[in-house]
Amino acid sequence: MTEQLRLMAVHAHPDDESSKGAATMAKYVSEGVDVLVATCTGGERGSILNPKLQGDAYIEENIHEVRRMEMEEAREILGVKQSWLGFVDSGLPEGDPLPPLPEGCFAVQDVDEAAGELVRLIREFRPHVITTYDENGGYPHPDHIMTHKITMAAFEAAGDPTRYPAAGEPWQPLKVYYNQGFNRPRTEALHRALEERGMESPYGEWLKRWDEWNRTERELTTFVPCGDFFAVRDKALIAHATQIDPDGPWFKVPLEIQQEVWPTEEYELVKSLVETSLPESDLFAGIRDN
Annotated binding-site ranges for Zn(2+): 13, 16, 144
Residue 21, phi-psi category: left (phi > 0), alpha (psi -120 to 50), beta (remainder): left
Query: Exposed, middle or buried by CB within 10 Å (0-12, 13-18, 19+), for 58?
Result: exposed
Rounded Cα distance between 2 and 190, Å, is 33
- Determine the Cα–Cα distance for residues 79 and 142; give it in Å rounded to an integer: 29
Cα angle: 159, vertex 164, 166; to 5 degrees: 110
Closest CA to 9 of 45, 46, 40: 40
Q: Quick check: 248 and 189 in contact, CB under 8 A?
A: no
Q: Residues annotated in the binding site, as ranges? A: 13, 16, 144
Helices (H), the chain: 16-19, 22-30, 57-61, 63-78, 111-125, 142-157, 184-196, 204-213, 230-239, 255-261
Rounded CA-CA distance 14/84 in Å is 9
Cα dist from 124 to 29, 98, 137, 173, 221, whole Å: 19, 38, 25, 12, 29
Q: Which residues of 146-181 are buried (b: 16+ CB within 10 A; e: fewer)?
A: bbbbbbbbbbbbbbeeebbeebeebbebbbbbbbbb
